[in-house]
Structure 1
Amino acid sequence: MLSSSQSVNCILVPGDLRKVHHIALNVKDMQASRHFYGNILGLHELTGDEVPATLVELVATGKVANFITPDGTILDLFGTPDLTPPDPDPERNFTRAYHLAFDIDPLSFDRAVAVIRENQIAIAYGPVTRPTGRGVYFYDPDGFMVEIRCDPM
């Protein structure tokens, strides 16, 4: 810890951080989560040569699955079969992360809500319309909140 008399010579300045590289989530049921993020949300699962070299063995043994979002951010799912949140009620926040939000074209928003409902995914809140756009909040298989949102038309 620096004292108030010490100066910091090495700081990050705007532009040093370029983008979010990846988001890692612990998941209880890997198959359910792969289905949710791959088949329901339509994210591309990395396979074969697409898998980062550092994760090939973990992917091969089924302990990790990697997806890529449309903007290139990697979503890593780490299988944690013994995972249990401090509270089984997903309405009670049990981590510092609140939700993961995906942007969608406004013309596709209603179709996304229909897909969520057709797959009997619990909607936490919404759909809502705000000055900033529309959004719907729902839970992944582990109770982590996901949002699909769009800008106003």
Structure 2
Amino acid sequence: MAERPEINGILETSVYVDDMDIAHDFYGGILGLKRMVAGDRLFAYDAGPEQTLLVFFRGHTGADVPTPGGVVPGHDTSGSGHFAFKIKPETLDPWRAYLRENQIDIISEVDWPAGGTSLYFKDPDGNILELAAAPLWPNYLS
């Protein structure tokens, strides 16, 4: 039996939205992420070193997409999604103030047993976003 190769992390995570322009105003404007790709069905944002947030146009990604390098299988979701951004613990209060100033309600705040804190809020499409300050998971300590 072959030895299992190592996984080196998550390169991309995705969220599905109903209005790409409103999504860009939120992710590019409010959250300040740099858009690296802008297409009809996909925006890709720099979410940190070697990390990419994919924002897909809900209902427009179910079909396979042929590319010069191969076929990207179709995918789509319904309902709200969830993902978390890593933040430094000392930025919790500035993030609370910034979200409040931008009329973004913090819908929940969780103090984790390991000592970290998460702030939860929604994007314009109702997806649940999290700002997570370490320590949270055993592999996320700083």
- Per the normalisation by structure 2, the TM-score is 0.69
Tell me which residue corresponds to 1:133: 116
Partner of 1:34: 24
1:72 to 30, 44, 50: 50
Relative CO higher for 1 or 2, CA cutoff 8 Å, sep ≥ 6?
1
Query: Over the residues paired in the alignment, what is the CA RMSD in angstroms?
Result: 2.6
Counterparts of 2:52 and 2:12, CA distance in 1? 4
The number of residue pairs the alignment matches comes to 119
Per-residue CA distance 1:15-48 (angstroms, 9 max, x = gap): 1x222121222210111111211122222111xx
The CA deviation at 1:122 is 2.9
Task: Please give the per-residue CA displacement for 1:59-95, whole angstroms capped at 9, x wherever unaligned.
Answer: 34x332110111321111112378xx87xxxxxxx46
- Mapping for residues 1-153 of structure 1, pairs under 5 Å: 9=1, 12-13=4-5, 15=6, 17-46=7-36, 51=37, 59-60=38-39, 62-80=40-58, 94=79, 99-126=82-109, 128-131=110-113, 132-151=115-134
List gaps (5 residues or longer) in structure 1: 1-8, 52-58, 87-93
Q: C-alpha deviations, 1:76-123, integer Å up to 9, x for none?
A: 1112378xx87xxxxxxx46x5x2111111221111111111111232
Secondary structure in structure 2 of the residue aligned to 1:141: coil
What secondary structure does 1:38 align onto? helix
Distance 1:130 1:19, change over 3 A: closer
Distance in 2, matches of 1:130 and 1:78, equals 31
1:133-153 per-position Cα deviation (integer Å, ceiling 9, x unaligned): 122101111111011121269
- Which one-letter code corresponds to 2:4 in the other structure? L
Measured in 2, the distance between the counterparts of 1:79 and 1:38 equals: 16
- Which amino acid is the alignment partner of residue 12 of structure 1? R
SS at match of 1:67: strand
SS in 2 for 1:112: helix
Q: Which has the higher helix share?
A: 1
**Aligned sequence identity (%):** 31
Query: Where is the strand percentage greater, Structure 1 or Structure 2?
Result: 2
Structure with higher Rg: it is 1
Consecutive unaligned residues of structure 2, counting only runs of 5 or more, are: 61-76, 136-141
